[in-house]
Homo-oligomer: A and B are copies of this chain.
Amino acid sequence: MIPFNKPYLTGKETKYIEEAVATGKISGNGLFTQKCQQFFEDTYGFKKVLLTTSCTDALEMCAILADINAGDEIIVPSYTFVSSALPFVRQNAHIVFADSYPDNPNIDANTIENLVTEKTKAIVVVHYAGIACDMEKILEIAEKYNLIVIEDAAQAIDSFYTFKDGTKKALGSIGHLGAFSFHETKNIIAGEGGMLTINDEKFINRAEIIWEKGTNRSMFFRGEINKYGWVDTGSSFLPSEIISAFLWAQLENINPIQEKRLAIWNRYFEGLKDCKNITLPVIPDYATNNAHMFYIVCKDLDSRTALIKKLKENDVLAVFHYLSLHKSEFYTQKHKNGALHNSDHFEECLLRLPFYFELTEAQQQKIINTINEF
Contacts and interface: CB of A to CB of B under 8 A. Distances in A.
A192 B27 contact: yes
A299 interface: no
Given A9-B21, A236-B54, A27 B231 contact: no
Interface string A172-215: 00000000000111000111110000000000000000000111
Nearest to A193: B240
Interface stretch (A112-120, A161-169, A325-333): A325-333
A31 to B, nearest CB: 13
Contact of A235 (B27, B86, B233, B238): B86
Contacts of A192: 27-28, 53, 236, 238-240
Contact of A57 (B9, B83, B231, B236): B236
- Which label, helix, strand, loop or mixed, suits the secondary structure of the A interface? loop
Contacts of A243: 191, 240, 242-243
A336 interface: no
In the complex, the count of this chain's copies comes to 2
A132 B98 CA distance: 51
Interface stretch (A11-19, A103-111, A254-262, A278-286): A11-19
B53 A213 contact: no
Contacts of A17: 13-14, 17, 246
A215 B14 contact: no
A20, A191, A329: residue with the most chain B Cβ atoms closer than 10 Å: A191
Contacts of A221: none
A159 interface: no
Nearest to A192: B240
B236 A83 contact: yes
A344 interface: no
Contacts of A193: 240
A193 B7 CA distance: 22
Given A325-B230, A328-B231, A215 B27 contact: no
Given A240-B243, A331-B230, A7 B21 contact: yes
A14 B246 CA distance: 11
B86 A214 contact: yes
Nearest to A242: B191
Interface string A244-287: 00100000000000000000000000000000000000000000
A26 interface: yes
Interface in A58-90: 60, 81-83, 85-87, 89-90
Contact of A83 (B213, B229, B246, B331): B213
Contact of A14 (B18, B83, B185, B233): B18
B323 A227 contact: yes
Contact of A53 (B18, B25, B54, B230): B54
Given A27-B191, A231-B330, 5 more contacts: A7-B24, A53-B53, A54-B236, A56-B235, A87-B235
Nearest 10 pairs between A and B by C-beta? A191-B240, A56-B236, A26-B191, A230-B328, A54-B236, A14-B14, A192-B240, A53-B53, A27-B184, A230-B330
26 contacts: A6-B24, A13-B21, A17-B17, A17-B246, A26-B189, A27-B184, A54-B236, A56-B236, A57-B236, A60-B235, A82-B214, A82-B215, A82-B230, A86-B230, A89-B214, A90-B235, A191-B243, A192-B238, A229-B323, A229-B329, A230-B325, A230-B331, A231-B328, A231-B330, A240-B243, A242-B242
